[in-house]
Amino acid sequence: KKQHVINVKEIKIRLELKAMITKLKETRAGVSGKRRQSKSQSPVSR
């Protein structure tokens, strides 16, 4: 039972890490896209 609990915790941690990494990648891509859009559309957005 102890091993099972540890495995569940490890799986949750790994899923959280994956979610964090995907969010970071999305935010980085979004930031670069927003910067390009703000430059082309209007500097007032800043």
The residues near 45 (Cβ < 8 Å, ≥ 6 apart) are 38
HSE (side-chain half, CA atoms, 13 Å) at 42 = 2
Q: What is the pLDDT of residue 46?
A: 53
Q: What is the pLDDT of residue 20?
A: 95
Q: Measured in Å, how far apart are the chain's first and last C-alpha atoms? A: 54
- The pair of three-digit structure tokens given for residue 14, joined into one six-digit string: 């790994």
Q: What is the pLDDT of residue 10?
A: 92
d(CA 17, CA 23): 10
Q: What is the pLDDT of residue 43?
A: 58
Q: What is the pLDDT of residue 21?
A: 95
pLDDT tens for each residue of 1-46: 666 667 889 999 999 999 999 999 988 887 776 666 655 555 555 5
Q: What is the pLDDT of residue 31?
A: 73
- The pair of three-digit structure tokens given for residue 46, joined into one six-digit string: 């800043």
CA 41 to chain centre: 26
